[in-house]
Structure 1
Amino acid sequence: MRMKLYTLCGESRDIRFSPHAWKAVMALHHKGLAFEEAPTPFTAIPKLENGFSPTVPLLKDGERLVRDSFDIAVYLDEAYPDRPSLFGGAAGRALSRTIEGYSQFVIHPALTRIMLTEIHDCLAPEDQAYFRASRESRLGKSLEAVVAEREREIAAFPAKLDPMRHALKHQAWLGGETPLFADYIVFGALQWARVVSPVSLLQNDDPVADWFQRCLDLHDGAGRAVAAAA
């Protein structure tokens, strides 16, 4: 039986933008495992698998359900040890938590301040209402107020990737000689921006831009299967 991965989509099922879901998508491709992707809008997620998880990604492997992108990666490495490792061992798993923290506490907030209204606009009407209410409650201000300094945030964004540039001076991938889950963590964030917003965040000669293009080419171009925002 093929695995099933529930991911997030906009009004069109072709707009699959969740950074966390992309981590899981790339992890499954990395392991060489066949799976069916099930893009799901925000308001349909609570109905999945009898309400197993309030969020996606959600992986169904036979009777086993696993939520959270990092937990999915750990599960895949443990359940399929004969396939290429996502962490390269326990030390790599531990270090990937640091990359996860960097991505979620530095990169994600910056991208949110840049493209929050664009995320809203790609959703179906019922999901727009949910998204606006939930995000404005969480952030304590309107979506429009959050992105009021959008141009300044765009200008400041490249500097937030300096830790990556430092790493890429010494190695081809965050994982070293080959990509690992650490790469997919940051790839998910930049893929989120690529799918949702046409704004240019990186110069063509930026080492991070080169790394991101190489990530898009991985696994027979899995990342390019979803078109960039126009």
Structure 2
Amino acid sequence: MVLALYELVGRDSQRPFSPHCWKARLALAHKGLSFESRPVSFTEVASVENGTGRTVPVLCDGDEVVQDSFAIALYLDRAYPDRPSLFGGEAGEGVTRFVESWSQRTIHPYIASVAILDIHDVLDEENRAFFRAKREAAFGRPLEAVQDGREAEKLAAFRRSLEPLRAALQKQSFIGGAEPRFADYIVFSAFQWLRIVSTFQVLEVGDPVADWFERCLDLHGGEGRSVSAA
């Protein structure tokens, strides 16, 4: 039976952009598992699999329905133990939870702030209105004000915040070591989100993080490049 992955898209159903969905997509590629992509918009998420939850990705594997990218990765390692491991054992799972927490508190907020209008612009009219209402309520100001000044001091500050990641990647090819693990897909997917929705560049040429990102784009037959840059 073919696995099915519900992924968030904008007006172009062939351009999934959610970082969380990309984590799941790369986890499946890591395992060498084929899947059927089922694109959904923001306003359709709540109806996925009869209202499984309020977020995607959602993976369907026969009768199994799994929501949340980390839960999907854990499920894949349990369900397909004969294929390459995403975590490398219990210790790897624990470290990966730290990586996810760091990424969602350091990289995600920054990207949301500098690409919020770009995300808005890839949506259709109905979803633009939905997205603007939700995000402006969360930020407490217009989207235009959120993204204003993205090339000023906060870009330099963001680049400095990547120094721990940069230092690690100067010593090893991937966050997971010599080979990629789910921890790599977590961080990669945040930058992939930006790559797909925006032309704004946050990584400088020659930065070890930029070099690592390019390596990740080439993984699994170039899965990351299957969706072109904005």
Which TM-score band (shorter chain)?
Answer: over 0.9
When structure 1 is superposed on structure 2, of 120-129 and 131-140 the one drifting more is 131-140
TM-score normalised per structure 1 = 0.97
Partner of 1:218: 219
Query: What are the within-5 Å matches in structure 2 for residues 2-151 of structure 1?
Result: 2-151=2-151
SS of equivalent to 2:47: helix
Provide the rounded CA distance (Å) in 1 between the counterparts of 2:101 and 2:146: 22
Give percent identity, aligned residues only: 54
SS of equivalent to 1:48: helix
SS of equivalent to 2:96: helix
Provide the rounded CA distance (Å) in 1 between the counterparts of 2:136 and 2:201: 26
CA drift of 1:157 comes to 2.6
Cα deviation digits, residues 70-120 of structure 1 (max 9, x gap): 010001001111110000000000000110011100000111110101100
Partner of 1:207: 208
Stretches of structure 2 that go unaligned for 5 or more consecutive residues are none
Cα deviation digits, residues 100-144 of structure 1 (max 9, x gap): 011100000111110101100110111001101111112222211
Matched AA of 1:174: I
Stretches of structure 1 that go unaligned for 5 or more consecutive residues are none
Task: Report the aligned-residue RMSD.
Answer: 1.0
Task: Count how many residue pairs are aligned between Structure 1 and Structure 2.
Answer: 229
CA drift of 1:177 comes to 1.0
Cα deviation digits, residues 162-186 of structure 1 (max 9, x gap): 1111111221110011000000000
TM-score normalised per structure 2 = 0.97
SS of equivalent to 1:141: coil
When structure 1 is superposed on structure 2, of 199-208 and 85-94 the one drifting more is 199-208
Matched AA of 2:217: L
SS of equivalent to 1:65: strand
